[in-house]
Amino acid sequence: MKISSINNAKVVYWAKLKMKKYRDIEHLFIVENEHLVEEAIKKGIVIEIITTDKYESSYPTYEVTPEIMKRISSLIAPPKVMAVCKHIVPSDISGNVLLLDRIQDPGNLGTIIRSAVAFGFKTIIVSNDTVDYYNDKVIRSSEGMLFNINIIRSNLLDMIELLRSKEYSILGTDVREGYDLRNLKKEKLAIIIGNEGQGMNIDLQHVCDGFINIPMSKNCESLNAAVAASIIMYEVFHE
Amino acid sequence: MKISSINNAKVVYWAKLKMKKYRDIEHLFIVENEHLVEEAIKKGIVIEIITTDKYESSYPTYEVTPEIMKRISSLIAPPKVMAVCKHIVPSDISGNVLLLDRIQDPGNLGTIIRSAVAFGFKTIIVSNDTVDYYNDKVIRSSEGMLFNINIIRSNLLDMIELLRSKEYSILGTDVREGYDLRNLKKEKLAIIIGNEGQGMNIDLQHVCDGFINIPMSKNCESLNAAVAASIIMYEVFHE
């Protein structure tokens, strides 16, 4: 199907998906660029394709003008192909778990997702006030790894209770003292990463079984949240 | 001194410093927010202060309107105080060295600088085509750590020759094979981190003494550049 009017109802509808509000209402999101479209197809969540070119697939495909693509895209340089995707249905908790408390920066969330897949974590639980993981910057900085891990949005305290019933160890992070992360066990770990500016919520600190400390120079107060999360996950993964 | 006109020559001059071109010509840059202004004062590079409030200091201080602040600021929510600073004069190479080959994302560069200070690296050498480290996003994501490390902008091949004459080991990174980073020596290390999309330049690969590999799951092709750099520096720092 071809669409040439920028005011076409479909175009207006797609463009709205740039906003979290509409992604939540419609349970949809958009991925941009061929690589991410392919990943989304593999994941089985694509409902339609939008392209300025030809694109071979078994999905309904809309050929649009570059002007329309620009209207829908979140990128400065709009891609040749996008896919409209259904929200991914979370599955049950499995493997090692990362809990994210109010991560605000989309780049940080995407980077954490990418590292979590790299280091074999199976589940990420994000607090309700963490940035939307269907945000285009999150998807981009995750390099599509969003499709390779189970992400659950929930109240963290409830989930910690559930994790505890499943015999997980609940570990927070502390910039000044705590367990050396070289001595972490390798399984049934649930690690909490706190907000970029304020760290972990006090209520969460109270329910931790212990805290992990990353040794660092006194010249630096703290690490970037995505870096801290990645170093801990790396240590869990490394033999 | 008070400035109330948005067209005042000083205001126009300061606003231009948002652009790399003018920062390079004037050898100046701007830091925003009280914390960074304090860090810049400690470093001795401040030449004047701009504020919408009062600000006690021994530097020439300009009181401006919120409208003017908004014109000069790179932030959505302009700060109450900024400092115009001189470029930092690089010092000689010392300690462990990180070489950055065409890092493009300001957030990545800032995060790498922050981690380098955290993990005791003394020198960062950035390629001429790496993003400007006086970019406001770099300064912000470095959390002011830019002031706590020696940063040199140069041709990397020239610097590698110099490092080799000083008996440094030149190590690249490789996503699939290489030394386990647990076995790295702790001194005289020069580690190269490549561009976010393309990795290390081929010319640089040829002059490496070896490559470091970060073990990771086959489900993920690579790590974010700032994460990879941070994990390596963490391993060098950790006993």
For A35-50, the pLDDT digits (tens) are: 999 999 999 999 999 9
Tens of pLDDT, residue by residue over B25-53, are 999 999 999 999 999 999 999 999 999 99
| Residue B219, min C-alpha distance to chain A (Å) | 7
Q: Write out chain B residues lying below 8 Å of A182, CB-based.
A: 238
Contact yes or no for A216 and B111 at CB 8 A: no
Angstrom distance (rounded) from CA A70 to CA A130: 28
- Mean residue pLDDT across chain B: 95
Residue A15 has pLDDT above 80, yes or no: yes
- Between the CA of residue A113 and those of A65, A145, B35, B144, B184, what are the distances in Å? 33, 6, 30, 26, 27
Q: Tell me how many residue pairs between chain A and chain B have CB atoms under 8 A apart.
A: 91
Judge: A227–B222 Cβ closer than 8 Å, yes or no. no
Task: Please provide residue A138's backbone torsions phi and psi, each rounded to the nearest 5 degrees.
Answer: -65, -50
pLDDT bin (cut points 50, 70, 90) of residue A191 is very high
Within 8 A of A197 by CB-CB distance, chain B residues are none
- CB–CB contact B117 A219 (8 Å): yes
CA distance A228 to chain B (A): 9
Chain B residues at the A interface, defined by Cβ less than 8 Å, are: 107, 111, 114-115, 117-120, 141, 143, 145, 148, 182, 214-217, 219-224, 226-227, 230-231, 234, 237-239
Contact check, Cβ <8 Å, A220/B111: no
Query: Measuring CA to CA, which residue among A81, A68, A101, A88 is closest to residue A193?
Result: A101
pLDDT for A175 beyond 80: no
Which of B141, B182, B219 is closest, CB to CB, to A148? B219
The CATH number, out of the four listed (3.20.20.240, 3.30.1330.30, 3.30.420.10, 3.75.10.10), of the domain defined by the range A2-86: 3.30.1330.30
Predicted pLDDT at B155: 97
Say if residue B239's pLDDT is above 90. Answer: no
With a pLDDT cut of 90, the percent of chain A lying above it is 91
Residue of A nearest to B117 (CA): A220
Q: How far apart are the first and last CA of chain B?
A: 53
Whole-angstrom Cα distance, residue A85 to residue A46? 4
CA distance A229 to A96: 13
Predicted local distance difference test score (pLDDT) of residue B229? 98
B83 within 8 A of B42, measured Cβ to Cβ: no
Q: What is the pTM of this model?
A: 0.94
Q: Which chain A residues have a beta carbon less than 8 Å from that of B234?
A: 214, 231
- Sort out which chain B residues have CB atoms less than 8 A from A226's CB and list them: 111, 224, 226-227
pLDDT of residue A86: 97
Which residues 6+ apart lie within 8 Å of A230 measured at CB?
A111, A112, A115, A119, B223, B224, B227, B230, B231
pLDDT (0 to 100) of residue A183: 83
Is B223 in contact with A217 (Cβ distance < 8 A)? Answer: no
Choose the closest CB to A114 out of B117, B220, B234. Answer: B220
Average pLDDT (B90-106) is 97
Q: What is the pLDDT of residue A223?
A: 96
Classify residue A120 as left (phi > 0), alpha (psi -120 to 50) or beta: left
> Where in chain A are the domains?
2-86, 97-237
Contact B220 A141 (CB under 8 A): no
Joined together, the tokens standing for residue B101 give 């080959």
% residues pLDDT > 70 (chain A): 100
Q: Which among A119, A214, A227 is the nearest to B111, CB-wise?
A: A227
Chain mean pLDDT for chain A: 95
pLDDT digits (tens, 9 = 90+) for B112-161: 999 999 999 999 999 999 999 999 999 999 999 999 999 999 999 999 99
Per-residue model confidence as pLDDT tens digits over B171-220? 999 877 888 888 888 899 999 999 999 999 999 999 999 999 999 999 99
What ipTM was assigned to the predicted interfaces of this complex?
0.94
- Is B214's CB within 8 Å of A234's CB? yes
Confidence category of residue B62, pLDDT binned at 50, 70, 90: very high
Least confident of A151-160, A176-185, B61-70: A176-185
**By the 8 A CB rule, do B19 and B60 touch?**
no
Chosen CATH of A97-237 out of 3.40.50.1970, 3.40.1280.10, 3.30.70.1070, 3.30.110.60: 3.40.1280.10
β-pairing verdict for A210-213 and A169-173 = parallel
Question: Which of A227, A237, A238 to mutate against chain B (most B CBs within 10 Å)?
Answer: A227
Q: Which of A219, A90, A103, A8 is nearest to B119 (CA)?
A: A219
Q: What is the pLDDT of residues A86-101, one digit of tens each?
A: 999 999 999 999 999 9
- Give A192-209 pLDDT, tens digit per residue: 999 999 999 999 999 999
Say what the pLDDT of residue A208 is: 96
CB under 8 Å to A170, separation ≥6 — which residues? A160, A163, A164, A190, A192, A207, A208, A209
Residue B19 has pLDDT above 80, yes or no: yes
Query: Which chain A residue's Cα is nearest to B142?
Result: A224
